Structure 1
């Protein structure tokens, strides 16, 4: 069974993803997690501490998922297109609330480097993974290509979690990957 702290953090992340950063209060987290009143504040005394805890929890959760990924090795442009389309489909489908929470937390931490650090570290890991794949599949300038591909990916993810959840993924990813290989 998950600890009280883990239950509070899971509930907090869900609240931010579903209702936005303003919904993040100790009382709402306790209620959402089914915890006695005051439980969340035992772990996170201030709202700032709660936000920082949620940021660290999100990064920790995603890092663990990334490290345990059983993904098929990507060796061809077609495999890269499929892998990225699959990741985007999951991030904007079943994990859409968590994706919205990540965006909300990035915005919340825009002026706070300490708060952003875990999210940026997570992003760097994903950039490094993508950079290695781009080099393997033949990108002549993988450092430039990774920025293009990440921007295109961010664009379709943001579009799907905010405007059009049914927007096609694969054609966008395919155009971006092909452009990165030209």
Structure 2
């Protein structure tokens, strides 16, 4: 297998875009090569098989969708509040807007994980660790609410993103803009101090 890290990253980004645009069934080495603009056969030199490509694309997706640490540190340096919770939730929506393919690929891989135990294991482990880190940061950071507050925000934002990314016309037709909906979710879920 080839080891050029830049080429591997480019192939993984291409795989993520193929997943978002064509679905898991459309993820082939040829499709990845075409999307990455590399010669035919390149992806097969980097990934032993399609399962390896799927798994590594999933792992790379977590890196791609992780917010910039400096940006997040700036946000978290602010005093903890319900208003900051709303800002953080709006940041998630903004990341989905700016990397729609990344979030759609994540949804596609979550569906694929229902059929592939090894992928489900990787995703479950990552999501569980991410949720626990969010709970820890929320509680230890002095934000209003407790573990259940974070879990409810997680569930509400997951549903909102699925709706927004898969059937955008539903929320576009709503009376409130998406950012207002996020604010309403936070108002309902996060308790007052």
With the shorter chain as reference, the TM-score category is 0.7 to 0.9
Instruction: Please state how far the C-alpha of 1:148 moved relative to its aligned partner.
Output: 1.2
Count of residue pairs the alignment pairs up? 177
Instruction: Please state how far the C-alpha of 1:59 moved relative to its aligned partner.
Output: 2.1
Partner of 1:56: 59
Partner of 1:169: 178
Partner SS state of residue 98, structure 2: coil
Partner of 2:99: 95
Instruction: Please state how far the C-alpha of 1:69 moved relative to its aligned partner.
Output: 4.0
CA distance in 2 between partners of 1:122 and 1:67 (Å): 18
Partner of 1:31: 34
Instruction: Please state how far the C-alpha of 1:134 moved relative to its aligned partner.
Output: 4.1
- 1:92-171 equivalence runs, <5 A: 93-135=97-139, 136-139=142-145, 142-164=146-168, 167=172, 168-171=177-180
Write out per-residue CA displacement over residues 38-84 of structure 1, whole angstroms, 9 at most, x where no aligned residue.
1111121221121112112112333xx44624221251101110221
Structure 1 unaligned spans of 5+: none
Write out per-residue CA displacement over residues 85-134 of structure 1, whole angstroms, 9 at most, x where no aligned residue.
1221221x111111000000011011434213343343234423432454
CA distance in 2 between partners of 1:25 and 1:162 (Å): 23
CA distance in 2 between partners of 1:67 and 1:126 (Å): 15
What's the Cα RMSD here? 2.3
Structure 2 unaligned spans of 5+: none
Residues 128 and 170 of structure 1, relative CA distance in 2, 3 Å threshold: farther
CA distance in 2 between partners of 1:123 and 1:133 (Å): 15
